[in-house]
Structure 1
Amino acid sequence: MANLWNNIVGDKKRYKQFKADVQALPEAYAQTLTALQTYIWNFAKSGAMMDVLEEILHMFQESAAENVPVQQVIGDDPVEFAENIMTQYPEELWLIKYRTRLRQQVKKAEQL
């Protein structure tokens, strides 16, 4: 029970720190990361995407420090950017699991 409590408190602190770090970004970066977060949470299994979001945060922090425009970081399509990042974390996404299952089912059906 103590481990569960420590995990909950630790996750809450981690998320609060993440939110504070996002707010410290230049406005364009903060708004973009908030939008990406909203999109990514739609595909995450039980809040497991903090590693992904923190990776994006660090990328944005470095780019902001170097005055790189947000669009240059994410490219022309923010969905493509988000999905490219998410594919690096298939174990954290229910979407990847279901895509894989669908591909396997169709492949199996084709063999009948």
Structure 2
Amino acid sequence: MTMWIDKLVGDLADKKSYLEYKARVKKLPPGYRETAKALERYLMYMGPSDDGKALIAMVGDLADLLEQSAADATPIRLLVGDDPAEFAETFLDNYAGGSWIRKERTRLADSIDRAIVEQAKL
């Protein structure tokens, strides 16, 4: 019976975990809170869109990282480095699941590889 409920409303445990993550972010000091929001926005766009479990793990780990950094008073720039996108990409590499951009990168590389094979046949 719960299968149709999960299909209709999604995995309630994942939703609960996500809401817990959002509550944790609200408790962060302002700079860390803004960092969390910015990283979340980027990671949601680039992240594991087809794997809910990986997504929940990712945001949970993000909250852990920022909570610990705030507790240790780690400067945000020291945490994310000079290139926040590079930091986010490296962070994202730890999680399974594919985003549309990852799939398109793979598709592009595969297409070029096939084109090279075809060219070699000439």
TM-score if structure 2 supplies the norm length?
0.80
- Distance, in Å, in 2 between the alignment partners of 1:58 and 1:91 is 21
- Distance, in Å, in 2 between the alignment partners of 1:12 and 1:78 is 27
Q: Which structure's relative contact order is higher, taking Cα pairs within 8 Å and 6+ residues apart?
A: 2
Structure 1: any 5+ residue segments left out of the alignment? Answer: none
Structure 2: any 5+ residue segments left out of the alignment? Answer: none
* CA contact 2:36–2:63 (8 Å) conserved in 1: yes
Q: CA RMSD in A?
A: 2.0
- Distance, in Å, in 2 between the alignment partners of 1:56 and 1:43 is 15
Indicate the residue corresponding to 1:2 in structure 2: 2
- If you compute each CA radius of gyration, which structure gives the higher value, 1 or 2? 2
* CA contact 2:29–2:70 (8 Å) conserved in 1: yes
* CA contact 1:74–1:81 (8 Å) conserved in 2: yes
TM-score if structure 1 supplies the norm length?
0.86
* CA contact 2:51–2:96 (8 Å) conserved in 1: no
Q: Does 1:56 align with 2:59?
A: no
SS, match of residue 40 in structure 2: helix
Aligned length, in residue pairs: 112
Runs of at least 4 residues off by over 6 Å = none
